[in-house]
Chain A
Amino acid sequence: MAQGINFLKPEPVGDFRFYYRARLFKVASLILLIVGCLALAATIALSINLAQTEKAVAAQTQIKKEKIAGLKKVESLQIILEQRLAALVGFKQKDLISEAKIIEEVLKATMAEVTVSEISLDEKKLVVVEGSAADSSALGAFLDRLSSQESLFAPATLTSLVRQEDGGYLFTVNLEIENHD
Chain B
Amino acid sequence: MIKKIPEKLKMLIIPLAIILAVVLVAVIFLGPRLSGIITGQEEISSQKAKLAKLTAKAAFLESLQASELQTKTENSLAFLPAEKDLPRVLSVVRNLAGDNGLELQGVRVGAGDISTGSAAVKTNKNELESLELKVILVGSWDQLQGFLFQIEEASPLMRVAKADMSFLPPLVEATLLIDSFSLPLPITLGASETPLAAISPQEEEVYRQLVKVIPQNQESLPSITSPSGRENPFVF
Of residues 26 through 45 on chain A, the ones whose CB sits less than 8 Å from some CB of chain B are 26, 28-30, 32-33, 35-36, 39-40, 43-44
Q: Is B160 an interface residue (CB 8 A)?
A: yes
A binding-site residues for B, Cβ under 8 Å: 15, 18-19, 22, 25-26, 28-30, 32-33, 35-36, 39-40, 43-44, 46-47, 50, 53-54, 57-58, 60-61, 64-65, 67-69, 71-92, 95, 98-100, 103-104, 107, 115-123, 131
Q: A40-B29, A40-B30, A88-B76 are in contact. List 8 more A-B contacts (CB 8 A).
A: A25-B15, A28-B15, A50-B37, A57-B51, A60-B51, A77-B69, A83-B125, A88-B206
- Partner of A32 from the list B22, B55, B72, B202 (CB cut-off 8 Å) is B22
Taking a contact as CB atoms under 8 Å apart, the answer to whether A119 and B163 are in contact is yes
Interchain Cβ contacts within 8 Å, total number: 216
Taking a contact as CB atoms under 8 Å apart, the answer to whether B26 and A36 are in contact is yes
- Partner of B145 from the list A47, A50, A73, A100 (CB cut-off 8 Å) is A100
Of residues 34 through 84 on chain B, the ones whose CB sits less than 8 Å from some CB of chain A are 34, 36-37, 40-41, 43-44, 47-48, 50-51, 54-55, 57-58, 61-62, 64, 66, 69-70, 72-73, 76-77, 79-80
Residues of A near B55 (CB, < 8 A) are: 64
> From DSSP, what is the main secondary structure of chain A's interface residues?
helix
Shortest distance from the beta carbon of B140 to any chain A beta carbon, whole Å: 12
Q: What separation, in Å, do the CA atoms of A98 and B37 have in the docked complex?
A: 64
Taking a contact as CB atoms under 8 Å apart, the answer to whether A76 and B126 are in contact is no
Q: What separation, in Å, do the CA atoms of A44 and B25 have in the docked complex?
A: 13
Q: What separation, in Å, do the CA atoms of A58 and B197 have in the docked complex?
A: 25
Taking a contact as CB atoms under 8 Å apart, the answer to whether A117 and B186 are in contact is no
Q: What separation, in Å, do the CA atoms of A120 and B47 have in the docked complex?
A: 61
A54-B43, A67-B58 in contact; A84/B164 too (CB < 8 A)? no
Taking a contact as CB atoms under 8 Å apart, the answer to whether A54 and B40 are in contact is yes
Q: What separation, in Å, do the CA atoms of A91 and B130 have in the docked complex?
A: 12
Q: What separation, in Å, do the CA atoms of A32 and B15 have in the docked complex?
A: 10
Q: What separation, in Å, do the CA atoms of A98 and B18 have in the docked complex?
A: 89
Q: What separation, in Å, do the CA atoms of A64 and B50 have in the docked complex?
A: 10
Residues of A near B73 (CB, < 8 A) are: 77, 80-81, 84
Taking a contact as CB atoms under 8 Å apart, the answer to whether A75 and B58 are in contact is no
Using an 8 Å CB-CB cutoff, how does the interface string of B202-233 with A read, 1 for contact, 0 for none?
11101100100000000000001001000001
Taking a contact as CB atoms under 8 Å apart, the answer to whether A87 and B80 are in contact is yes
What are 11 A-B contacts defined by CB distance under 8 Å?
A: A40-B30, A57-B48, A57-B51, A61-B50, A78-B61, A78-B196, A79-B189, A89-B200, A99-B159, A115-B169, A120-B163
Q: Is B14 an interface residue (CB 8 A)?
A: yes
Taking a contact as CB atoms under 8 Å apart, the answer to whether A85 and B76 are in contact is yes
Q: What separation, in Å, do the CA atoms of A39 and B224 have in the docked complex?
A: 57
Residues of A near B204 (CB, < 8 A) are: 85
Taking a contact as CB atoms under 8 Å apart, the answer to whether A33 and B66 are in contact is no
A54-B44, A68-B61, A76-B234 in contact; A100/B202 too (CB < 8 A)? no
Q: Is B183 an interface residue (CB 8 A)?
A: yes
Residues of B near A73 (CB, < 8 A) are: 66, 224
Taking a contact as CB atoms under 8 Å apart, the answer to whether B69 and A84 are in contact is no
Taking a contact as CB atoms under 8 Å apart, the answer to whether A64 and B58 are in contact is yes
- Partner of B166 from the list A76, A99, A118 (CB cut-off 8 Å) is A118
Name which residue of chain B comes closest to A93, CB basis.
Answer: B202
Shortest distance from the beta carbon of A129 to any chain B beta carbon, whole Å: 10
Taking a contact as CB atoms under 8 Å apart, the answer to whether B163 and A121 are in contact is yes
Residues of B near A86 (CB, < 8 A) are: 126, 197, 203
